[in-house]
Amino acid sequence: MISHSFNASKNRLDVVYTGIVTLDEIIDYIETVKNDASLPRKLKIFTVAKNIEMNFKHDDLHHIVTAVESSAARYKLMVDAFIVDKAKETAFSLLFGNKSQSDNYELKVFSTHEAAENWLNTI
């Protein structure tokens, strides 16, 4: 499951992945962000994806890349601090970040909240 809410005090979108996360859930979340005109056009995203299981294959990453690039096109800037703790999810996250070709989207993978917060605060 993926839940998200805008954190006005930190001016960012807070996202939490829990349990088993499917490709369809990720695409639905990305489409929701893409179509949310209330979000700032310079969007900072703080994603916590700890203790989850990504239930899709490496070959499915191109679907996520395509969806994110389409979503990012509606924003001046989109940055995502992505916190993970398992090897498979870390590998998928890094592969996804390397495949994205959008000039206005950047994903960085972190293992701690503090490191992710520090990076987002520099943007």
Q: Is 74 helix (H, G, I), strand (E, B) or coil?
A: coil
Q: Which residues contact 11 (CB under 8 A, 6 or more apart)?
A: 40, 44
Considering the entire predicted model, what is its pTM? 0.92
Q: What is the mean pLDDT of residues 1-6?
A: 97
pLDDT value of position 99: 66
Q: Is 33 helix (H, G, I), strand (E, B) or coil?
A: helix
Model pLDDT for residues 11-53, shown as the tens digit of each residue: 999 999 999 999 999 999 999 999 999 999 999 999 999 999 8
pLDDT value of position 31: 97
Q: List, in sequence order, every residue forming a beta bridge with 82; answer none if it has no partner.
A: 47, 109
Amino acid at 9: S
How many Å apart are CA 120 and CA 57, to the nearest integer? 29
Class of the CATH-defined domain 2-121? alpha beta
Model pLDDT for residues 44-97, shown as the tens digit of each residue: 999 999 999 888 887 888 899 999 999 999 999 999 999 999 877 777 777 777
Computed over every residue of the chain, the mean pLDDT equals: 92
- For the chain, what are the domain ranges? 2-121
Residue 111 reports pLDDT greater than 70: yes
- The size of the chain, in residues, is 123
Asked whether 34 and 68 are in contact (CB, 8 A), the reply is no
Pair of tokens at residue 121: 């605060």
Residue 108, Ramachandran bin (φ over 0: left; ψ between -120 and 50: alpha; else beta) = beta
How many Å apart are CA 96 and CA 85, to the nearest integer? 16
